[in-house]
Structure 1
């Protein structure tokens, strides 16, 4: 019993002294609880209505219509896209001549329009769009595939490099003519091949079984996957550039990956989140991968349509690789 208690207390002290693991074991459930409660807090509403213009004025116009969740939009094209996918039940525009759009293929929109016409007769001009409903499974699949790519890239290269440094492998490499850029580039290329090949197999298998829609180019989807993988590999290399603790590296990668999962629009749309949250999400590579893949698969987007996302991923890759190469060290301090 004495030996057991000694080992028990030693392991507890080891855990408590590892500030990274201890902090993450406390923060992770809190982030998950608050994130999910925030995402799922609108279940009291029945209809989701997009608003172009003054949201307060829209609230006054629709005050007699119950159970509406009003979502403000600045971009009319984006709002109409949401309506076409059935992610909005109605879109209204305030101003001197208020008007609304409905999707003629939406059952919920039919009932909402009847209610709107009964409560506010003659107040709105009418316009229509058409589009089949995109189910949640089809909508979330690009995000799940992107998430798998993220975990493969973050843990498949950075964690390995920290282990190399911890075991003294990098110290031996330093005695060779290999430069930091050559070493990191080789690691990145290897992980790129493995990650893209793996996700391609997962994509092919799930597409065969679930028959989810892919309206755009497979080659463009492959390009998006490769640029997304490179940006997240580069992010992982920055994290691994100087760290020599496997436990701390694991906590850091969790700290990076979980906020990206919650704020990238992977599980739910960010349209209703505060503007600040949407701006923060744009700094995350996963957001651009998810948006580009979703646009290709669901909307048939072309190269020019997703050029901003691809350019952002390219810029992130170059910047992060430069930082990783500049700050890389071969051995422990």
Structure 2
């Protein structure tokens, strides 16, 4: 029989448990404020840009057109990379002031319109033409969706499991065995890596049969990027869960890691033309480098040498997080 007094006692006990957990209480107050600050900074300004123009060696360019409002000007050092973006309708115009040339995509309506704006200040620029159909947004966003799925699986799949092990005294029993912290952490990494790569591969192959995804690069290169990226995300999850046995605290820390990555890692929209501060913050997230490298391979046909910077950054992050996890790991919980 339902007894109201017992019900109230449980509600009161749970409320006291939550409000006495200062870390969880603080996180529930701090996290919404953090999201509001991020959104207000990222989407601040006088209005969203209507067009996106690539500028070769922008630091050396002083053309008056660069002061035009509501146009994002993206710096490129490599013409070939900029041409790929123009062919795929990701940018609308390319300007090369030293050579007095500009390129348009004759199959892009936005390229046509931004050229009409530019020619009033062209001052003798030579018109160069390219043509190319846009890639589907589905193909462009594909690396972001799979990267985000890997992020949640890696972080929460490792973080919650270790906290549960610690809370249920499983780790305390393992401590009595010859198993070292590094061995335990490495085993968790390998197990989660196999699960994540297996599930992502199955989903990708199955979806490819229906959607016929574009692939301009190598599947082997893409797999290597997925392996290195997943290891980096798993090691971050291990680091977050090294000491605490509070599921609410670790859940808050995992959300603190996942939400900024989901918003600022180029999952849903390109960071080209974003404020420099936003791009600098995005560089600290492993998901940024995973998505960037995978997208370059899929949509631009990049090779491993082309994405070597992302590979190096992800490898350094993995090594650093694993070393810190092994050093700080606690079998018993907070000390």
TM-score (norm 1): 0.88
C-alpha distance 34-55 of structure 1, shift in aligned 2 (>3 A): farther
TM-aligned CA deviation for residue 5 of structure 1: 4.3
CA RMSD, Structure 1 to Structure 2 (Å) = 2.6
8 Å Cα contact 1:39-1:268 kept in structure 2: no
CA distance in 2, matches of 1:85, 1:42: 28
Counterpart check, 1:277 vs 2:278: yes
SS state at 1:304 partner = coil
1:107 alignment partner in structure 2: 109
1:12 alignment partner in structure 2: 15
Range with greater deviation from structure 2 (22-31 or 249-258) = 22-31
CA distance in 2, matches of 1:131, 1:56: 27
CA distance in 2, matches of 1:125, 1:23: 60
C-alpha distance 191-113 of structure 1, shift in aligned 2 (>3 A): same
Structure 1 residue corresponding to 2:53, chosen from 43, 49, 70: 49
TM-aligned CA deviation for residue 30 of structure 1: 4.3
TM-score (norm 2): 0.87
SS state at 1:293 partner = helix
Counterpart check, 1:70 vs 2:86: no
8 Å Cα contact 2:66-2:73 kept in structure 1: no
Give the gaps of 5 or more residues in structure 2: none
Deviation string, structure 1 residues 223-276 (Cα, Å, up to 9, x no partner) = 111111111111111112112211111111110111111111111111122223
Counterpart check, 1:22 vs 2:13: no
Deviation string, structure 1 residues 3-31 (Cα, Å, up to 9, x no partner) = 55444343333322333433443444444
CA distance in 1, matches of 2:317, 2:94: 35
8 Å Cα contact 1:92-1:101 kept in structure 2: yes
Counterpart check, 1:150 vs 2:157: no
TM-aligned CA deviation for residue 104 of structure 1: 2.6
TM-aligned CA deviation for residue 191 of structure 1: 0.6
C-alpha distance 35-128 of structure 1, shift in aligned 2 (>3 A): farther
SS state at 2:104 partner = strand
SS state at 1:101 partner = strand
C-alpha distance 315-115 of structure 1, shift in aligned 2 (>3 A): closer
CA distance in 2, matches of 1:152, 1:61: 46
Counterpart check, 1:116 vs 2:102: no
Range with greater deviation from structure 2 (243-252 or 26-35) = 26-35
TM-aligned CA deviation for residue 298 of structure 1: 0.7
- 1:219-234 matches, within 5 Å, as 219-234=220-235
C-alpha distance 79-121 of structure 1, shift in aligned 2 (>3 A): closer
- 1:1-333 matches, within 5 Å, as 3-33=6-36, 35=38, 38-39=42-43, 45-52=49-56, 53=58, 57-58=62-63, 60-61=64-65, 68-77=70-79, 78-94=81-97, 98-117=100-119, 119-120=120-121, 122-332=123-333, 333=335
CA distance in 2, matches of 1:44, 1:161: 43
CA distance in 2, matches of 1:210, 1:24: 40
CA distance in 2, matches of 1:34, 1:206: 36
SS state at 2:214 partner = coil
CA distance in 1, matches of 2:142, 2:162: 31
8 Å Cα contact 2:61-2:97 kept in structure 1: no
SS state at 1:159 partner = helix
Give the gaps of 5 or more residues in structure 1: none
C-alpha distance 319-127 of structure 1, shift in aligned 2 (>3 A): same
8 Å Cα contact 1:264-1:281 kept in structure 2: yes
CA distance in 2, matches of 1:176, 1:155: 26
C-alpha distance 223-135 of structure 1, shift in aligned 2 (>3 A): same
TM-aligned CA deviation for residue 79 of structure 1: 3.7
C-alpha distance 115-324 of structure 1, shift in aligned 2 (>3 A): closer
TM-aligned CA deviation for residue 319 of structure 1: 1.8
